[in-house]
Structures are given as C-alpha cells and as structure tokens.
C-alpha cells in the first residue's frame, strides 16, 4: 500500500517550513505523484523546482488523492483548512489519509481526528520539528495505531527520525513540549552569555562555565556560536517560532496550566518581531541585549516599538476558538459541538486546576489608551 506506482498525494502548504518542504521534495524524488493545492506563494519556488504542479482549486487538487499532506503556520489556519468552507474533511475522498505536519494544539488534533473518522477518513497529527541547526528533523506521529501502521511506508520520507505515538493529539503535544524546552534553554543560555558580555567577562571562560556544568544544553552548542559571530541565519525564523510559542500557550490554556517561561519567551519574540526581526533566525533574540546601533545594523528599528507604545501599531494575538458556525457540513458541525462539550467536561490532554481560573489571556491587548507598554532600546534591559 502507498507505493510510488499507485499513490497520488496532494499537498496544502502555508507554513513555509523548511523541514516540511524537504519532506515533500523527498516524496517526489522517490517517485510519488504529487500535486499542490493552494499554498503560500513563498513556497512556490521550491514546489516548482521539484516539478510539482499547483492548482488553485482545492477540490480539484484533492480529487483522486489517497494521501493529503498539510503544513500550516498556525492552528487557526489548520482549522480553516480542515473545517472551513470546502474543508478537507468534506471534500477528501472516503478512505483518504490526512497527514498534518503543522504544530497545533492537542485539543485541535483530537477534534479533527474524531470528525475525520466519522467521514471515513484517517487523520494523523504528525508535526515535523527541526529546531536545532545541527540536528536532523524529527516527526512525532499521533493517531490511532492502525492508521499510523498503514501510513508507515510514507513516514521515512517525512523526517530523519520518526516517533510513532499512542493516540490522537500526542504528536501535537510532543511538538509543543519540544518548543517549550527549546524556548527555555535558548533564552537561558543567551541571557547568561549576554550577562557575561555586559560584565566584560571573558567569552571562553563564560562558555567553559556553562559547558562544564548541567547548564550545558543543545542551545549552547547550536546557537551560541552563531550569536557570538552575529550570524542570524538558519532554519527556524522568528515569525515561525512565534507561531509555535503561540500554539504552546493556546495548548496551556486548553489544559488550564500556566507556562510562565513560555509566556516570557512569547513576549520577547513578539517584541523582536515588532521591531523588524521576523525573518531573522531564533538566535536573534540576543539582539535584545545589544545597543540600539547594533540592532539597527541587523535591521531592527526600535521606533516601531515606540509606535506600538503610542497605540499606532496593529492589534496582535491568536485566532481563539474556531467558530463552529463556519463549518458548512451539518454533520461535522454537530460532531464538533459534541466534541467541544466532552472536552470541556473532561479536561482532555490536561490536568485541570481550579486555582488557575484567573489565568489571564496571554495575548489580549490591554484596553488602556496607551496600548501595549513595549520598551524602547536602552529601557528594555537595565544593564544596557
């Protein structure tokens, strides 16, 4: 089953994920027939170079496809793609396999899987994570075991390492855990090196201090050499990581769990995005510890943060709960409502804590007239 001779695959992109695009190209190189549905225009060069025909009609792209692979930047985009008007759960041929490579919340993965099963479809949450510059991509595959087993012939093309998991949503949860761990280790390591720099402590001594203790981490190996060389290129852009952090915080809200470290990481990367760092790689967080001129040398404009302070910037935040009235298929809408009600009562994938009822929405823009209180360069860190 799923041999290159008899398998047609449709790809719907939008994340501009290097790891996801590499997976698609590997499948084409292996001889699989591939067609791309509507996708982010920035992915077009890679898809065209791989000889993948593109179609702007979602239904036409899905027609005859035994496997549909998706890769979106944010859970709200996954919701629209699967559950919106002409969503994949409506138009995919019965018996098709839906493999989502996006980083989404465990709750959303469980909801899509349950509704897919009603329509005779198999859905797998299979986020590809390729965070470290020196490491190979890992694909965490969540879903019903029989579905994972059937799709096994395709999995080696997805990533260097495949981690099959026990049930729907566990692939998504694993990805969220990785993002949380990366954010903490990266911020801690870069902050320690920034302190050394501010105190004019010898760089080699600082590195030795971290590397010789349990403070050592993959972040130290993968990212500190780049920050020391002011090299802010890489495989994971700030804009992509910000979406991933947003997803982690959405998942924490679903589970009634606080993630203060991840909250802080989101705020700092959001600030870096506001001042123009979207296309830099994630180690560029180190620029927030630099002086204003150094920031300007790498394309950051602190006046943009002042605009946000003065209320001139746009609102920000995640898409929130999916509006079930956007689901055009009545059966799917009814099932969606039922699943939402069940999960609200059981706290699926989480550990409910009544003491956290007042946990604030981590992205709600303040209602005060001054807007978000973003600092300017020089104010952000007291030692600068």
pLDDT tier at 327, thresholds 50, 70, 90: low
> What pLDDT shows up at residue 215?
87
Q: Please compute Rg for the chain using Cα positions.
A: 22
Whether 40 contacts 11, CB under 8 Å: no
> What pLDDT shows up at residue 166?
84
Sequence-distant (≥ 6) Cβ neighbours of residue 18 within 8 angstroms: 130, 235, 236
> What pLDDT shows up at residue 92?
97
> What pLDDT shows up at residue 144?
95
Q: What pLDDT digit, counting tens, does each position of 143-169 carry? A: 999 999 999 999 999 999 999 998 999
Please tell me which residue, 261 or 324, carries the higher pLDDT value: 261
Find, among 81, 61, 63, the residue nearest to 71 by Cα.
81
Percent of the chain with pLDDT over 70: 79
Q: What angle do CA 64, 65, 70 make, to 5 degrees?
A: 150
> What pLDDT shows up at residue 136?
81
> What pLDDT shows up at residue 1?
76
Give 344: exposed, middle or buried? Use CB within 10 Å, 0-12, 13-18, 19+. Answer: exposed
> What pLDDT shows up at residue 334?
60
Q: What angle do CA 118, 344, 146 make, to 5 degrees?
A: 35
Distances (CA, A) of 100 to 11, 112, 267, 333: 10, 10, 27, 21
> What pLDDT shows up at residue 283?
95
Mean pLDDT calculated for residue range 77-81: 97
Whether 110 contacts 339, CB under 8 Å: yes
Distances (CA, A) of 56 to 12, 37, 60, 369, 374: 10, 6, 8, 42, 40
Find, among 91, 37, 30, 106, the residue nearest to 69 by Cα.
37
Please tell me which residue, 334 or 131, carries the higher pLDDT value: 131
Average pLDDT, the chain: 84
> What pLDDT shows up at residue 326?
47
Please tell me which residue, 240 or 341, carries the higher pLDDT value: 240
Q: What pLDDT digit, counting tens, does each position of 231-265 carry? A: 999 888 999 999 999 999 999 999 999 999 999 99
> Does the pLDDT of residue 86 top 80, yes or no?
yes
Q: What angle do CA 178, 341, 109 make, to 5 degrees?
A: 30
Whether 166 contacts 140, CB under 8 Å: no
pLDDT tier at 210, thresholds 50, 70, 90: very high
Please tell me which residue, 136 or 353, carries the higher pLDDT value: 136
CA-to-CA distance for 135 and 328, rounded, in angstroms? 42
19-23: long-range contacts, CB 8 A cutoff, minimum separation 24: 19/101, 19/128, 19/129, 19/130, 19/137, 19/159, 19/235, 20/71, 20/101, 20/128, 21/46, 21/47, 21/71, 22/137, 23/69, 23/101, 23/128, 23/137, 23/139, 23/157, 23/158, 23/159
Mean pLDDT calculated for residue range 328-334: 55
> What pLDDT shows up at residue 260?
95
């Amino acid at each position: 089953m799923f041999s290159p001779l008899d398998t047609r695959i449709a790809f719907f992109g939008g994340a501009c994920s290097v790891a996801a695009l590499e997976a698609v190209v590997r499948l084409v190189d292996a001889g699989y027939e591939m067609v791309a549905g509507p996708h982010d225009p920035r992915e077009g060069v890679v898809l065209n170079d791989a000889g993948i025909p593109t179609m702007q009609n979602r239904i036409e792209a899905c027609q005859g496809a035994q496997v549909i692979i998706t890769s979106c930047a944010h859970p709200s985009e996954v919701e629209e793609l699967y559950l919106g008007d002409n969503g994949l759960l409506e138009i995919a041929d019965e018996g098709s396999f839906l493999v989502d490579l996006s980083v989404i919340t465990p709750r959303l993965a469980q909801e899509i899987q349950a509704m897919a099963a009603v329509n005779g479809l198999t859905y797998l949450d299979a986020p590809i994570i390729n965070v470290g510059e020196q490491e190979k991509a890992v694909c965490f595959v969540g879903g019903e075991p029989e579905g994972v087993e059937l799709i096994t012939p395709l999995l080696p093309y997805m990533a260097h390492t495949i981690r099959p998991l026990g049930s729907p949503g566990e692939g998504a949860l694993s990805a969220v855990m990785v993002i949380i761990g990366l954010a903490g280790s990266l911020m801690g390591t870069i902050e320690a090196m920034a302190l050394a720099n501010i105190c004019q402590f010898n760089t080699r001594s600082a590195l030795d201090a971290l590397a010789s203790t349990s403070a050592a981490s993959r972040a130290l190996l993968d990212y500190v050499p780049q920050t020391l060389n002011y090299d802010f290129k890489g495989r994971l852009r700030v804009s992509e990581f910000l979406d991933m952090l947003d997803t982690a915080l959405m998942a924490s809200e679903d589970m009634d769990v606080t993630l203060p470290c991840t909250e802080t990481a989101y705020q700092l990367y959001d600030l870096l995005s506001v001042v123009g760092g979207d296309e830099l790689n994630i180690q560029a967080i180190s620029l927030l510890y630099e002086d204003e001129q150094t920031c300007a040398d790498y394309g950051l404009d602190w006046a943009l943060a002042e605009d946000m302070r003065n209320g001139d910037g746009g609102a920000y935040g995640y898409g929130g709960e999916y509006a079930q009235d956007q689901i055009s298929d009545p059966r799917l809408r009814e099932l969606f409502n039922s699943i939402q009600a069940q999960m609200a009562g059981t706290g699926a994938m989480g550990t409910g804590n009544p003491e956290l009822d007042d946990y604030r929405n981590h992205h709600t823009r303040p209602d005060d007239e001054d807007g978000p209180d973003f600092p300017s360069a020089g104010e952000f860190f007291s030692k600068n």
